[in-house]
Amino acid sequence: MMLIPAHHFRDIERKPEYLQPEKCIPPPHPRPAGTMWFIRDGCGIACAIVTWFLVLYAEFVVLFVMLIPSRDYVYSVINGLVFNLLAFLALASHCRAMLTDPGAVPKGNATKEFIESLQLKPGQVVYKCPKCCSIKPDRAHHCSVCKRCIRKMDHHCPWVNNCVGENNQKYFVLFTMYIALISLHALIMVGFHFLHCFEEDWTNLLQAYGLTREETAEARISLHEIKQPLKVSSTECSSFSPPTTVILLILLCFEGLLFLIFTSVMFGTQVHSICTDETGIERLQRKKQRRERRGSWKSVKETFGGDFSLNWFNPFSGPRHPKPLSDRDWVRQVSSVSDTENTETTTTTTEEPSEEPKNEDFVEVVDE
């Protein structure tokens, strides 16, 4: 019998029935194909609602505070179209990232019948998740929020109320990119709006007194000395009162700056993960697990769905669908076990007389 490192056994006397595959019963009502994926997590749902609220708030301020009151029709139309298009693509990407199956492994497939149907060869091993009772293919990890094993799981993001995995990583990348773009666009428009309106209001104020800037400096006129307040029209800058306008714009600046930094960092992290073909979890386990990586361009094409085209930026176009898992995808070679730490293992070989050769065929199930 082949020897397994001692750290794989917390209780070496456990019987082969430790994993109890006969207790792994598939769900009585499997989810039909095409059913919408949605995680019922209170924190995730709240974060998703907050995300939509913040985008709609930015939409309200940009349209009703800055663009619609503006007298520059061309400026308002161009910036309105660009901002609304980016906001629509951001929300569409958010929905696709939230409602797309990230690559969940069939739940409850670690049954005795399924394991026997794999017809494991000598030196092969299968990994079983004790939490969702699933056989885990390579690069799959269990998510405690989704309560499923996810293929190529990068992380669980509460802002999209879903895991970022094999099937929805493209949508998450697009979501972070479009949020960063609308945040940058909003900040630029706020800057122009402040400069334009302050200068225009100051000019109108001087013209109302019939003075130039130089004459104003000499006369040192103070508005507090005027018995009746001067009525200067500022409808071209905002439909709201000046204090309300300033508060709305400052809040938009704070929101835009915060999300620009956050989403830019997330976008860069995701692009780096795709180019290196290494998820966030795999990066943390780099010293423990060694595997062969694909080329960066091949990984990018698989994530975004083929060769470079406008569909890469389209949240309604899916990534290249992976091939259905075959029997060999569920099985790993025993060498991978020796590279993995802190796992509980049980061999399914039956006891043989001690005089049998040590290289005897065996099958191993790993509780990961």
Query: What residues are labeled active site?
Result: 157
Give the max Cα distance, the chain. Answer: 112
Beta partners for residue 331, in sequence order:
126
Three-state helix/strand/coil letters over 88-112 = HHHHHHHHHHHHCCCCECCCCCCCH
Residues 6+ apart with CB under 8 A from 48: 94, 98, 159, 160, 161
Q: How far apart are CA 314 and CA 62, in angstroms?
A: 24
Q: How far apart are CA 73 and CA 68, in angstroms?
A: 9
CA distance 96 to 33: 17
φ, ψ dihedrals at 194, nearest 5°: -60, -45
Amino acid at 3: L
Neighbours of 158 (CB within 10 A): 17
